[in-house]
Amino acid sequence: MTSNDVTSNDVTGDDRGRLRVGVIGADTGASWAGVSHIPAIHGLGTLTLSAVATRREDSARRAADAFGAARWFADPFAMIRSDTVDIVTVAVRVPAHAGLVRAAVDAGKAVYCEAPLGSSLAETVELASLATSRPAVVGLQGRLNPSVRRAAQLVHDGAIGRPLNARVVSTTSGFGPVTATNYTYFEQAASGAGLLTITAGHTLDIVEAVLGATVEVDARTGILWPHPLVADTGDRVMREVPDHADVLARTASGALVSVNVSGGVAPGDAVFRFEVRGTDGWLTLTGGSLFGVQGGDLTLTASTAFDAPDRPASANASGPSINIGEVYAALAADLRTGSRSAPGFDHAVHNARLIAAVAEAAATGRRVTVAAR
């Protein structure tokens, strides 16, 4: 058996007219989907959690019961094919993204895939080339945080004058001296999931949301903990990817930006701070979470008065579900109106190229021009 209905009707009660979301990777354990996607979906009146899928029947059943999904699937591809799902969410390990995304696109479904989209730049480009008919969005959710959107508006409107320079500190509890068996794949270069592609990718995307596209970068990266301890086994593994990065960038707005991205910070000390100085004033975004900047809310302060940021789109959203809810709200609007307000797969390609430029700059010691979108 690969699937089952928890309820007997396809669409019932308040679910009528709502877009139906099926989440792959919604495990009741320590899953990202469980703390972010599920509460975000439940808080939006335009969506309903139609299905969950994992690789095992027992975990799929538990997830459906715990998260209030109408049905469960032990075969993610069966869920993708189901006519009870309008939006397929891919919230699993990065190496598994490609096969699931291809299947969802082939099935004519809208897709929401976590970032990074592919395990390499080439794979990201290939997946983006497939998504041409239905909306396909990537989880670069930090740029849609209400405070980030308001900061971008202030810069666009000239409220702080011409942007001159900015400095960013972005930290996460991941990629430190201790890991666990379930997360050792983060240490492998081939997985495409590391501090550069995740924490730096989200961080630089927020910088671009406020100050415009990055046009060139210098960078230094390092491995500060080359043999992290696997806490549940006592073994040590080799880390193949950087756990620290310093990036110097110039953006299309002309601003010079210094970005410090660090892993291995204690959960209570994980912070994000983004300071922008302009000819006529300043603004600052602060916050942070153990997941990194994408996993929490941000607070905006500025030298000039501004309208308060919008309330989160997802009712009662908190922590990781705030920014995820903004992406779902944008995707729902795109599906209903034909707009393209959520970050699409083309945006994923740009982000992957930006991170590839950072990696090249760090490896060669030379300044690298970032390809224009």
Q: What is the pLDDT of residues 72-85, one digit of tens each?
A: 999 999 999 999 99
How much is the average pLDDT of 161-185?
96
pLDDT of residue 16: 60
How much is the average pLDDT of 170-186?
95
pLDDT of residue 132: 87
Residue 212 has pLDDT above 80, yes or no: yes
Q: Which helix (H) or strand (E) holds 219?
A: strand 214-222
- Chain centroid to Cα 39, Å, comes to 16
In three-state secondary structure terms, 2 is coil
pLDDT of residue 5: 56
How much is the average pLDDT of 266-277?
95
Global confidence as pTM = 0.94
Give the pLDDT confidence of 340-349 residue by residue, as tens digits: 999 999 999 9
Phi, psi angle pair for 12, to nearest 5° = -135, 155
Give the pLDDT confidence of 296-321 residue by residue, as tens digits: 999 999 999 999 999 999 998 999 99
Give the pLDDT confidence of 107-154 residue by residue, as tens digits: 999 999 999 999 999 999 999 999 988 999 999 999 999 999 999 999
pLDDT of residue 116: 98
Cβ 206 vs Cβ 200: under 8 Å = no
pLDDT of residue 9: 30
Say what percent of the chain tops pLDDT 90: 91
Query: How high is the mean pLDDT of the chain?
Result: 94
How much is the average pLDDT of 279-284?
98
Q: Pull the structure tokens for residue 95.
A: 């190496």
pLDDT of residue 4: 63
How much is the average pLDDT of 159-171?
98
- Angle (deg, nearest 10), helices 201-211 and 146-156: 40
CA–CA distance, 53 with 290 (Å, rounded to integer): 26
